[in-house]
Amino acid sequence: MIVLGIETSCDETAAALVRDGTEILANVVASQEDLHRAFGGIVPEIASRKHIETINPVLDEALRRSSCSLEDVDGVAVTNAPGLIGSLLVGVSTAKAIAFARKLPIVAVNHLEGHIYSNLLAHPDVRFPLLGLVVSGGHSDLVLMREHLCYELLGQTRDDAAGEAFDKAARALGLGYPGGPAIDTAAREGDPHAVRFPRADLGDSLDFSFSGLKTAVYRRAQGFDGGGRDRSEDLAAGFQEAVVDALLTNTLHAAEQQGVKVLAVAGGVAANSRLRERFAEAAEQRSLRLLIPPLSLCTDNAAMIGCAGYYRLHRGENHGMEFDTYSVKPLG
């Protein structure tokens, strides 16, 4: 089964062709990063207008690279939530138009579900239960999956998402946009133990909180709380260590609580080199199976949507022309 995946939830216009949920025939991503850099963040109206300009060329390019035509496509999968509503609508309208014209089944995919399934592209053999950690610009969710497409939310952020914290801390440190990769690079030259930033104590909860940490970085960068002489590389490394500590602690706690042996980490922050190192070490020590996508599949793409969509289409789902688009919609 060849699935056409479409993703436009934020500032990437993406289309992919995926065979049987595993084989990526083409995966085209057009990033709007340069367009939003001057604003230090994503401007929703600019993002949706750019998607309108870009979606057809991106689709054409995906078909060209896969050597497929629309006649070869067996089903369409599109992100319908969560995200910027104007951006989502461009992808959903395009996907519906293709499905309607070609009389194809179409399924709506939750963006966070897509991130988790980015791991199944290479590992379709995965055994459930599985513990998913989705860490992106908008979410930090710990999700238990007992079977395909079933989600139980165990923990989430109470304020800033992990990626958002990276972006804001980078701004405080003058490291530029987007913040995640900038902190990752700076931290390689820093000492993670030079400055110890606070870790939120939320008792037994599996939730996260990063806003206090963000404020601590701001204050230290401005010379308060003993700061003033710090190297920005050390502050970046100290901040990154605190975020990774929080993500790892809760993930391991949840895995133990639920007796889960498979971890699937995903989302833009899963590209972080220190996170990848610490999760790999911890998984090996505890004999857990760690799934984490290659860097190109951590950030937003449509192959992950095509993969998740495959599992929905394969079990006979067809959401037709009537499904809606939501800026906020939790998994499950």
**Applying CB under 6 A, which residues contact ligand KG4?**
10, 136-138, 163, 166-167, 178-181, 184, 267-269, 271-272, 299-300
Q: Which stretch binds Zn ion (CB under 5 A): 87-95, 122-130, 294-302, 317-325?
A: 294-302
Cβ neighbors of 97 (< 8 A, separation 6 or more) are: none
Per partner kind, with CB cut-offs from 5 to 8 A, the member of Zn ion, ligand KG4, none near residue 234 is: none
Q: What is the DSSP letter of 208?
A: B
Per partner kind, with CB cut-offs from 5 to 8 A, the member of Zn ion, ligand KG4, none near residue 80 is: none
For Zn ion, the binding residue among 27, 136, 240, 250 (CB under 5 A) is: 136
In angstroms, what CA-CA distances link 99 with 15, 53, 92, 93? 14, 20, 10, 10
Q: In 3D, which of 205, 113, 188 has the Cα closest to residue 150?
A: 113
Q: How near is the Cβ of 137 to Zn ion at its closest, in Å?
A: 7
Q: How near is the Cβ of 240 to ligand KG4 at its closest, in Å?
A: 8
Q: Tell whether residue 8 is a contact of Zn ion (CB under 5 A).
A: no
Packing angle between helix 232-258 and helix 162-172, nearest 10 degrees?
A: 170
Per partner kind, with CB cut-offs from 5 to 8 A, the member of Zn ion, ligand KG4, none near residue 233 is: none
Q: How near is the Cβ of 180 to ligand KG4 at its closest, in Å?
A: 2
Q: How near is the Cβ of 190 to Zn ion at its closest, in Å?
A: 27
Q: How near is the Cβ of 22 to ligand KG4 at its closest, in Å?
A: 21
Closer residue to ligand KG4, CB minimum distance, 33 or 256: 33
Q: How near is the Cβ of 300 to Zn ion at its closest, in Å?
A: 4
In angstroms, what CA-CA distances link 149 with 2, 75, 153, 262? 19, 18, 13, 16
Q: Tell whether residue 300 is a contact of Zn ion (CB under 5 A).
A: yes
Q: How near is the Cβ of 26 to Zn ion at its closest, in Å?
A: 20
In angstroms, what CA-CA distances link 326 with 9, 85, 92, 161? 10, 7, 11, 19
Q: Which residues pair with 145 in a beta bridge?
A: 130
Closer residue to ligand KG4, CB minimum distance, 141 or 300: 300
Per partner kind, with CB cut-offs from 5 to 8 A, the member of ligand KG4, Zn ion, none near residue 167 is: ligand KG4
Per DSSP, the residues of 55-66 read HHHHHHHHHHHH
Distance CA 17, CA 272 (A): 27
Closer residue to Zn ion, CB minimum distance, 230 or 300: 300
Closer residue to ligand KG4, CB minimum distance, 63 or 263: 263
Closer residue to ligand KG4, CB minimum distance, 225 or 245: 245
Closer residue to Zn ion, CB minimum distance, 241 or 300: 300
Distance CA 256, CA 129 (A): 12
Q: H/E element holding 25?
A: strand 23-31
Q: In 3D, which of 304, 272, 273, 277 has the Cα closest to residue 290?
A: 277
User: Which residues between 206 and 225 bind Zn ion (CB under 5 A)?
Assistant: none
Q: What's the token pair of residue 20?
A: 């049987």
Sites of contact with Zn ion (CB under 5 A) = 136, 300
